[in-house]
Amino acid sequence: MLNIVILAAGMGKRMRSDLPKVLHTLAGRSMLAHVVGTARALSPQRIVIVTGHGAEQVQAACAGQPDVRCVLQSPQLGTGHAVQQAEPELLPGGTTLVLYGDVPLVSEATLRGLVDAAAQGLGVLTVQLPDPTGYGRIVRDDAGEIRRIVEHKDASPAEQAIDEVNTGILAAPTDALRGWLAGLTNDNAQGEYYLTDVIAAAVAAGVPVRSAAPGHAWETLGVNSRAQQAELERLYQRHQAERLLEAGVTLADPARIDVRGGLLCGRDVFIDVNCVFEGEVELADGVIVGPNCVLRNVRVGPGARIEAFSHLEEADVGAGANVGPYARLRPGTVLGERSRVGNFVEVKNARFGADSKANHLSYVGDATVGQRVNIGAGTITCNYDGVNKHRTVIEDDAFIGSDTQLVAPVTVKRGATVGAGTTLTRDAPADTLTVSRSPQKAIEGWRRPVKADKAGR
């Protein structure tokens, strides 16, 4: 049985923001969402979030997550008081793990280590810091056993010299914790109910107290300011980059990639500088992504190339396809194998069959394009009549001349050729040239108009 309590009542004054601190983002997701995600990975029976400042916004952010319960802490009288508010929601037995909503990078592995350390009693996640100022210090006896935690403001000079600090994250036996919480007092320098006082209570009750260390010290860093938020963002991104390098991805510069979601890569993927990956992105074997691309919820097939400055959202790029430079694939784009979408081409809710091309300056929206189709420069699917969207169908082996407007709903039949400059308002028959241009004429004896003074009057 595992309960997880996430403390998220703090104000976050130094963020200077209308948004509650825990809703500020890291890698595209709120800090609270990171913590809840990691909490879920431990398969707890219950997750309780303690809200306070901006409680309504935090509750709204948790709406639609039936496995998460919010309790209100008002006023905020300390970390111990915060957990007291969650106590009625805790399921009996087992362990209760306490996390902070503003410590977003703590990993599943670290928390498993802590919960294991707490199996026989109480576990505290601690780190050693060169400058422990401000933190609660871990006080041990001569045998090295943890006796209590003393807050910085209550610590003697000797205690302030201790460099092992409380990260704030702890795991305790739920049933005993209830009693320890009930016994907390606010008789201390800050007049707060300290959660950290449960450590001395456990020791007094003869319950073993163990420490656990995080996988990386930076996992336990908290965010109190925009500067710390930016610092954690870089730490997180650096960690993502290292993970990709270890998985065999080539990064032109590990310091210039941002992953805001999940990025899954096959073998021998190359990613150039300044690319942003959002949501769930999958790059298959041998994919090359050029510099300055944004990919949001995209799948790219084996051997495909995304050239510089392309923007792809909810798109599926087939094997060996070529996109960009300067291409925009909007939601619902599906590109077949070896297809090409070139510079200044926008594709939306459209499917390209294998080996089809739109190489230059076109808009292809709400369209079904067959195989081996060539769409010339400046082609536009006129899919919107001001009220409704209509579909354009271009069948296999069609050739669309440059500067063509396809006024949907309209179909270009198999093997048809549409002459350059055509405005197609009816279907183009198969294997036939359709052209709507007015015939070209040359007017004999025509003179350019001239200005009156130059004409000598």
Category of 163 on φ-ψ map: left (φ > 0), alpha (ψ -120 to 50) or beta: alpha
Nearer to ligand UD1, 196 or 374 (CB): 196
What number of CA atoms fall less than 13 Å from residue 259's CA on the CB side? 22
Nearer to ligand UD1, 187 or 444 (CB): 187
Q: How far is the CB of 24 from ligand UD1 (least distance, A)?
A: 12
Q: Which residues contact 87 (CB under 8 A, 6 or more apart)?
A: 177, 178, 181
Which of residues 5, 9, 312, 315 is near ligand UD1 by CB under 6 A? 9
Q: In 107-158, at which residue ranges do the beta strands (DSSP E only) sit? A: 122-128, 137-140, 146-150
Report CA 60 to chain centroid distance, whole Å. 19
Please identify every residue annotated as catalytic.
Answer: 360
Q: How far apart are CA 251 and CA 255, in angstroms?
A: 9
Category of 332 on φ-ψ map: left (φ > 0), alpha (ψ -120 to 50) or beta: left
Q: How far is the CB of 2 from ligand UD1 (least distance, A)?
A: 20
Nearer to ligand UD1, 8 or 177 (CB): 8
Return the range that interacts with ligand UD1 (CB under 6 A); candidates 2-10, 199-207, 258-266, 441-449.
2-10
- In this structure, are residues 35 and 104 in contact, taking their beta carbons and an 8 Å threshold? yes
Q: How far is the CB of 195 from ligand UD1 (least distance, A)?
A: 4
Nearer to ligand UD1, 10 or 353 (CB): 10
Amino acid at position 153, single letter: K
Question: 260 to 299, contacts with ligand UD1 by CB under 6 A?
Answer: none
Question: 126 to 145, contacts with ligand UD1 by CB under 6 A?
Answer: 135-136
If one asks whether residue 313 binds ligand UD1 (CB under 6 A), the answer comes out as: no
What is the three-class DSSP state of 187? Answer: coil
The token duo for 400 is: 């669309």
Q: What angle do CA 261, 285, 318 make, to 5 degrees?
A: 85
If one asks whether residue 50 binds ligand UD1 (CB under 6 A), the answer comes out as: yes
Nearer to ligand UD1, 103 or 341 (CB): 103
Nearer to ligand UD1, 123 or 136 (CB): 136
Q: In 197-243, at which residue ranges do the beta strands (DSSP E only) sit? A: 209-212
- In this structure, are residues 281 and 258 in contact, taking their beta carbons and an 8 Å threshold? no
Alpha-helix residue ranges (DSSP H) falling in 19-107: 31-41, 55-62, 79-86
Question: 151 to 170, contacts with ligand UD1 by CB under 6 A?
Answer: 151, 165-168
Q: Which residue has the tokens 């060169």?
A: 130
Return the range that interacts with ligand UD1 (CB under 6 A); candidates 6-14, 116-124, 173-181, 346-354.
6-14
Which of residues 2, 5, 7, 375 is near ligand UD1 by CB under 6 A? 7
Question: 191 to 230, contacts with ligand UD1 by CB under 6 A?
Answer: 194-196, 222
Q: How far is the CB of 83 from ligand UD1 (least distance, A)?
A: 9
Q: Which residue has the tokens 């909490």?
A: 39
Question: 53 to 82, contacts with ligand UD1 by CB under 6 A?
Answer: 73, 76-79, 81-82
Nearer to ligand UD1, 102 or 403 (CB): 102
Return the range that interacts with ligand UD1 (CB under 6 A); candidates 3-11, 35-43, 334-342, 355-363.
3-11
Q: How far is the CB of 28 from ligand UD1 (least distance, A)?
A: 21
Question: 10 to 29, contacts with ligand UD1 by CB under 6 A?
Answer: 10
Q: How far is the CB of 198 from ligand UD1 (least distance, A)?
A: 10
Count of chain residues binding ligand UD1 (CB under 6 A): 28
Q: How far is the CB of 183 from ligand UD1 (least distance, A)?
A: 15
Question: 79 to 108, contacts with ligand UD1 by CB under 6 A?
Answer: 79, 81-82, 100-102
- In this structure, are residues 107 and 113 in contact, taking their beta carbons and an 8 Å threshold? no
Nearer to ligand UD1, 199 or 367 (CB): 199
If one asks whether residue 110 binds ligand UD1 (CB under 6 A), the answer comes out as: no
Residue 135 burial (C-beta neighbours within 10 Å; 0-12, 13-18, 19+): buried
Q: Which residues contact 401 (CB under 8 A, 6 or more apart)?
A: 376, 417, 418, 419, 420, 421, 422, 435
Question: 366 to 425, contacts with ligand UD1 by CB under 6 A?
Answer: none
Return the range that interacts with ligand UD1 (CB under 6 A); candidates 7-15, 63-71, 323-331, 380-388.
7-15
Q: How far, in Å, are 270, 271, 309 from residue 274 at the CA level?
A: 13, 9, 10
Nearer to ligand UD1, 82 or 244 (CB): 82
- In this structure, are residues 111 and 104 in contact, taking their beta carbons and an 8 Å threshold? no
**Reduced 3-state DSSP string for 323-363:** ECCCCEECCCEEECCCCEEEECCEEEEEEECCCCEEEECCE
Q: How far is the CB of 106 from ligand UD1 (least distance, A)?
A: 12
Q: How far is the CB of 140 from ligand UD1 (least distance, A)?
A: 15
Residue 214 burial (C-beta neighbours within 10 Å; 0-12, 13-18, 19+): buried
Site of interaction with ligand UD1 (CB under 6 A): 7-10, 50, 52, 73, 76-79, 81-82, 100-102, 135-136, 149, 151, 165-168, 194-196, 222
